Structure 1
Amino acid sequence: MDDQAQVEARPVAGGILRWYGIAWVLFGLCPPVVAVQGDPGTAKYWSLLVTATLGAAYLAVRRRFPEMPGATLYLCGLVLGLGVMARMSGGAAMFIAALPQFWVFTAGPRRALAFGAAGATATVLGGVTVAVPRMGFGGGGVVVVVIGYLVSSLLGLGAHRAIRQSAERERRLGAELAETQRQLAEAHRRQGATEERERLAREIHDTLAQGLASIVVLAEAARTNLDGDLVRAARQLTSIENTARENLAEARALVGAAPREGVAAGSVAQALRRTLDRFAEDTGLTVTAELSDVECDRRTWIALLRCTQESLANVRKHADATTVGVVLERHPHGVELEITDDGKGFVVARARGFGLDGMRRRLAELGGALTVTSSLGDGTRVLAVLPLSDDPEVR
């Protein structure tokens, strides 16, 4: 039994032994003493000495239960005391009352049976060596002792078997629980790894991949303009340099080489304005913007910026638009970001790709939602809705 099991078992077992101790005194120790009180000899004094010694020894062993140091020595003394008391006052009732102790204070059924047999033998031998007509110890007393020993043996073996089976079930359940916990921890680890891969994939798609795509488009345009419009080519090369620097900062932030806070400088309206100005400069499209100065926490800040970047990247690659409109507004239910274009549109139900799905997941993590409305020839409308916290600590 481990330390924790002992701590848990002590109050319950101690309570049972306390009640049994009362029964042991009333039905085991007191009757033999009362039986010899009228004896004119020294039997009553020996009886008081033996019963007092057994009572004190029982109390000492019970207080140390379930560690039970000295329990074997106590049981040997109990067997001897049974024999002595049987010689003076019969002892059959005392033996019956003592039977539970042979099972409680031993480590297994063999020792319990052995001590029980020794106690029965001592009681029978002590009782039959003298005539005790006042207690009626004789053939009837021997029968009581033998029957008591046999019944207690059957009950003890049955209880021991039940306890052993219960312990085995507990061991199996403990092993199954440990295995289940291990599998659950492994599942959590795999889930965490999967979620982290998805997060990194989304961040790379929304930052590095978009930046590299912009660099490719700008490089192609700059190469075309090298033979003619050198001023425009120079502006495009500058945009390539700035985009590359931003991608480097994003890459460092993703691997932890730079603080993530460096990505979010200024208000969200200012960040969106810089992004839109860069987009208009690189693409030559007409961009209109109505950007309210919305205060928000960093995660909302990043989500709004990433949705804008992804939507503009889709316009650049797929829309063939001439005009893009962006509206950022604060509402009672939160903040809304609307991005529209007058491009060729698409069938939303047929859309396949990581961008829209990544935006939806990013917004869903913050309790928001993404709505995409489009049809062939009618342009596209992207609406991102996010709740805002009223807690000033997150702003």
Structure 2
Amino acid sequence: MTALTGPTADAFWATSLRRWNAVCWVLFALMAVGLVAMDRPGGSRYAALALLGGVVLCYAVLHRFPDHPVVRPHGYLSVLVVALGGLAYLRGNYAALFMVTLPHYWMFGRTPRASMTFLGLATAGTLTGSVLRQDGWSVEFFSETLVSTLIVVAVGVLIGLWAHSVVAQSEERARLIDELERTQAQLSEAHQRQGAADERERMAREIHDTLAQGFASIIVLAEAARAGLDSDTARSAQQLWSIESTARDNLAEARELVGSVRGPGPGQVAAGSVARTLRRTLDRFAEDTGLIVHADLEDLGCDQQTRIALLRCTQESLANVRKHARASTVGVVLTRQAYGVELEITDDGTGFVVGESAGFGLDGMRKRLAELGGRLTVTSSLGDGTRVLASIPLASPAPGESGAEA
């Protein structure tokens, strides 16, 4: 049997209790009518009616006011025990009331121990009343009253214990389901918070690697163009053209960041074109800064995420060279290894202490590569330049994925 839980269990037990209440009220009415109409007038009839009236009154108050301070469930059961014993002594026709009210011991006893205690008291009271009514023990008492009463009580005990077990299992399942639902809600909320934090971090990294670097280039180029307006107009014109080109790329990157679909754009890398895109980036860097750039870029194919990661690492490294290194020469090597692809960027600048670096750029590169199972190795010391090595594992490229370098 499947235990009922939650609202379904509450509705089931409420419906069952209403039906049993209706049966009880019908029985109470029939017993009252029988005592008035069928029995001979006398003190015993009035006493029986008083006992039945007490049971009905307590049951009505309990039914109407479940938390009444005077008539509580155990109070009603106590009255019921006394009434059954009294009816067994006065009239001997307690059997119907005993059987119909048998579930009340389990409904209102609250615990199996209390239910068994009141049921035992009711059984002892009715048997005692029957013995006193018959002026002692008799064969008829043993053959009919005692045996039938004990059989009814035994069946009631078994059914009551089974019902308590079902209710306990239902309550435990309801509790576990409630805890599971709360845990799932907390887990979902945590996932949403983590997802939002990851998305903010991704957006911050994309803005840093694209828009922020582009604006930094525009500022440097604008300062150089302004300084050379009087002495080298051709150079200034070239720098103004670079400013315009960089601004257009930044505009395209901004549109890409706010768009719902990220497709290949000026800041993205088309399939198989990683070497060509890196070459364009290096040419622009050499043209803007006047530094010497040595590039050895192997023609290789890789997936879109790897191509973007390689481009972003190159852009960030070149931006660091421009802002901090005061170098004269930059070297870039892109090679395919047995395990994947390596991108090495070196410069002959002033270098720095790697452990003291607190910038967002290196941390962003590490996280971007870690998402692809790769790693970033930075080697540098003061006065000896810097070496940045990005390693990304790759599967075998799909046929036709590698593209010719332009």
- TM-score normalised according to structure 2 size: 0.64
Look up the match of 1:282. 288
- Decide which of 382, 392, 395 is 1:389's aligned counterpart: 395
How has the CA–CA distance of structure 1 residues 303 and 312 changed in structure 2, closer, same or farther, with 3 Å as cutoff?
same
Q: Residues 229 and 257 of structure 1: is their aligned pair in 2 closer, same or farther, counting only changes over 3 Å?
A: farther
CA distance, structure 1, for counterparts of residue 260 and residue 237 of structure 2:
31
SS state at 1:181 partner:
helix
Within a 5 Å distance, the mapping from 1:279-358 to structure 2 comes to: 279-358=285-364
- Comparing 153-162 with 336-345, which one deviates more in the overlay? 153-162
Aligned to 1:98: none
* 1:128-207 equivalence runs, <5 A: 139-207=142-210
Work out the CA distance in 2 between the residues paired with 1:327 and 1:229. Answer: 33
Measure the CA separation in 2 of the matches of 1:155 and 1:4: 20
Q: Which residue of 1 aligns with 2:269?
A: 264
Letter in 1 for 2:275: A
Distance 1:213 1:195 in 2: 25
> 2:366 aligns to what?
360
Calculate the aligned-residue CA RMSD, in Å. Answer: 3.6
* Cα contact 1:218–1:237 (8 A) shared by 2: yes
Task: Flag the 1:251–1:257 CA change in 2: closer, same or farther, 3 A.
Answer: farther
Distance 1:256 1:297 in 2: 22
Q: Which residue identity does 2:372 align to in structure 1?
A: L
Q: SS of 1:260's equivalent?
A: coil
Tell me whether 262-271 or 212-221 shows the greater mean CA deviation. 262-271
Please state whether the residue corresponding to 1:327 is helix, strand or coil: strand
**Is 1:230 aligned to 2:236, yes or no?**
no
CA contact (8 A) 1:252 1:258 kept: no
1:369 aligns with 2:372: no
Amino-acid identity (%): 60
Q: Is the 1:321–1:344 Cα contact (8 Å) retained in structure 2?
A: yes
Unaligned regions of 5+ residues in structure 1, if any?
6-67, 76-101, 114-135
Deviation for aligned residue 1:144: 2.6
**Partner of 2:264: helix, strand, or coil?**
helix
The ranges of structure 1 where at least 4 consecutive aligned residues each deviate by more than 3 angstroms after the TM superposition are 1-5, 106-110, 136-139
Change (3 A) 1:297 1:137: farther
User: Would you say how many aligned residue pairs link Structure 1 and Structure 2?
Assistant: 287
AA partner of residue 230 (structure 2): D
Deviations 1:299-330 (A, max 9, x none): 00000000000000000000010000000000
Alignment partners' CA distance in 1, 2:363 and 2:104: 65
Residue 346 of structure 1, CA deviation: 0.4
Amino acid in the other structure paired with 1:368: G
Residues 354 and 380, structure 2, Cα contact 8 Å, conserved in 1: yes
Cα offsets for 1:68-105 (capped at 9, x unmatched): 9xx99xx9xxxxxxxxxxxxxxxxxxxxxxxxxx99xx
Segments of 5+ residues of structure 2 without an aligned counterpart are 6-15, 24-98, 108-114, 116-138, 402-406
Give the drift of 1:137: 9.0
Does the C-alpha gap of structure 1 residues 289 and 391 become closer, same or farther in structure 2, counting only changes over 3 Å? closer
Conservation of the 8 A alpha-carbon contact between 1:249 and 1:258: no
Q: CA deviation at 1:174?
A: 1.4
The equivalent residue for 1:53 is none
Q: How does 1:46-125 map to 2 (within 5 A)?
A: none
SS at match of 1:160: helix
Q: Is 2:345–2:388's contact at 8 Å kept on the other side of the alignment?
A: yes
Classify 1:257/1:246 alpha carbon distance in 2 versus 1 (closer, same or farther; 3 Å): farther
C-alpha distance in 2 between matches for 1:264 and 1:108: 78
Q: What whole-Å deviation, never above 9, does each CA across 1:114-142 have from its counterpart, x for those lacking one?
A: xxxxxxxxxxxxxxxxxxxxxx9984254
Q: Shift of the alpha carbon at 1:172?
A: 1.7
